[in-house]
Amino acid sequence: MQNPWKTLSSRIAYENPWIRVREDRVLRPDGQPGLYGVIELRPSVAIVALNEHEQVALVGQWRYPLDRYTWEIPRGASRDGESDILQAARRELREETGIEARTWRSLGAIDLCNGVMRSTEHLFLATDLTLLDAQPDPEEDLLLRWVSFDEAFRMVMENELREASSAAAILKTRSLLS
Amino acid sequence: MQNPWKTLSSRIAYENPWIRVREDRVLRPDGQPGLYGVIELRPSVAIVALNEHEQVALVGQWRYPLDRYTWEIPRGASRDGESDILQAARRELREETGIEARTWRSLGAIDLCNGVMRSTEHLFLATDLTLLDAQPDPEEDLLLRWVSFDEAFRMVMENELREASSAAAILKTRSLLS
């Protein structure tokens, strides 16, 4: 399939350490001129950490953009220059929860808000866990909670756990394990 | 749970008809000052349209932000003033694919990129379908394709269909129907 869009010019409309907004002057598929704002995020990771009791690690925190407290699986953005995404997942899990895992399995990746955004989150299933001390970032204020996998699945299906990557990763894990 | 963040001031850093970027001066949970950029999108909808042959409607299009052709379930943003989200789903499905459905079931909602974004997508399962003419927006160049539900599920699990809302909605549907 060929790209039906033409990019005429591109500028950075907004940038901070986490997000960048690019605004392109384009010709649309119908040939008409337009503007396309594209939000660019660094690749990110999300991890289903499953212990020997079939419990999943959930992280609780206040999500400022939603103005709401949420429970999710451990997640985070990769760092600049962190090209090994599995390494990013190991780091993020270790920092947020203190968990190290000996066995890692990819659950694939998902693209978020792909109409306006270049944002890919890589999903992992981590098992054979060891619990050490967490080292969260200073802007994070996190709680760690273990729930049975069945409870996590119920939370997704009943819309109590509705963060996109967490939902996709838990549902994929269930399909893999059942 | 109490909001541990304090908002000191807020400004619109970027805006177009689809996205708005707000930049807030904040005090973080640790009391330190900082900037928080929040991307705001209108609520959106995604629909698993399942026909009487257990086939799912997939929409193919070039996704400019990803620079890639994708297959997804029908999706779109609600319009300004469109407060009934089911009505938005009916409109979006009708416009993109020409499909009307007599039976609608909520699959819950998901929040996308909630660390930097206020973006909620409402998921639906639509059945008892009638096929009419599609009326896509002029900037859209869409293909409609029917695949068996099992094939759609396989595409999600094997990472061929990796748009977040589509993946979550197809996996939720499978859990509901199996």
With helix as H, strand as E and coil as C, how does chain A read? CCCCCEEEEEEEEEECCCEEEEEEEEECCCCCEEEEEEEEECCEEEEEEECCCCEEEEEEEEECCCCEEEEECCEEECCCCCCCHHHHHHHHHHHHHCEEEEEEEEEEEEECCCCCEECEEEEEEEEEEEECCCCCCCCCCCEEEEEEHHHHHHHHHCCCCCEHHHHHHHHHHHHHHC
Chain A residues touching residue B163 (CB < 8 angstroms): 110-111, 114
- pLDDT tens, B120-141? 999 999 999 999 877 767 666 7
Give pLDDT, residue B11.
98
Mean pLDDT of chain A: 95
Residues in chain B predicted with pLDDT less than 50, given as ranges, are none
Give pLDDT, residue A139.
64
B119 vs A41, A113, A140: nearest CB: A113
Nearest residue in chain A measured CA to CA from B18? A116
CA distance A143 to chain B (A): 12
Mean pLDDT of chain B: 95
- pLDDT tens, B103-117? 999 999 999 999 999
Q: Do A119 and B113 touch (CB under 8 A)?
A: yes
pTM score: 0.95
Chain B residues touching residue A6 (CB < 8 angstroms): none
B18 vs A29, A37, A111: nearest CB: A37
Domains, chain A, ordered by start: 6-40 (no CATH), 42-177 (3.90.79.10)
Nearest residue in chain B measured CA to CA from A45? B113
Nearest residue in chain B measured CA to CA from A32? B139
Strand (E) positions, chain B? 6-15, 19-27, 33-41, 44-49, 55-63, 68-72, 75-77, 99-111, 117-118, 120-131, 143-148
Give pLDDT, residue A150.
98
Q: Do B157 and A141 touch (CB under 8 A)?
A: no
Give pLDDT, residue A49.
98
Q: Is the ipTM of this complex over 0.90?
A: yes
- pLDDT tens, A10-37? 999 999 999 999 999 999 998 999 999 9
Give pLDDT, residue A138.
63
Chain A residues touching residue B18 (CB < 8 angstroms): 37, 115-116
Chain A residues touching residue B21 (CB < 8 angstroms): 14, 19, 21, 39
With vertex at residue A167, the alpha carbon angle to CA A36 and CA B36, rounded to the nearest 5 degrees, is: 50
Give pLDDT, residue B139.
64
- pLDDT tens, A104-139? 999 999 999 999 999 999 999 999 999 987 776 766
Give pLDDT, residue A141.
78
Q: Which of B18, B105, B117 to mutate to test the interface with A (most CBs of A within 10 A)?
A: B117
- Asked if residues B86 and B11 have their Cβ atoms less than 8 Å apart, the reply is no
